[in-house]
Amino acid sequence: MKNLGQMMKQAQQMQAKMAELQAALDQAEVTGQSGGGMVTITTSAKGDPKKVKIDPKLIDPNDVEVLEDLIVAALRDARQKGEAMVQEEMGKLTGGLQLPPGFKLPF
């Protein structure tokens, strides 16, 4: 029974650390760029958009598609950086324990 009590205590500690990590990831920001930095998008590590910066030289009413593509590319870059940050922080929390492919934690 002593082992079970220890396991429950460890599970509660892990749950508390997970809640702290989720809060930290809400506050952490990543920046994605495209077009050599002409489009910059900042998001939370969880992917919530925070701000967009577009170099005025890109704004051409006759060529909106280029700007649209650069925005998508910057968002993709920010998302990938956010996912990498989440994986890194989760690795620290789990002591390098690899989660099964496709397994997503609640964030």
* Segment among 2-6, 15-19, 27-31, 95-99 with least mean pLDDT: 95-99
The single-letter code of the amino acid at 37 is G
How many angstroms separate the Cα of 48 from the Cα of each of 3, 45, 104? 41, 7, 17
Instruction: Report CA dihedral (3, 13, 79, 96) to the nearest 10 degrees.
Output: -40
Question: Which CATH number, 2.40.10.340, 3.30.1310.10, 2.60.320.10, 1.10.1200.10, labels domain 29-93?
Answer: 3.30.1310.10
Question: What pLDDT band is residue 96 in, cutting at 50, 70 and 90?
Answer: low
Instruction: For residue 65, count other CB atoms closer than 10 A to its CB.
Output: 9
Mean pLDDT of the 60-72 span:
93
Mean pLDDT of the 30-46 span:
94
What pTM did the predictor assign?
A: 0.71
Residue-level pLDDT at 107: 43
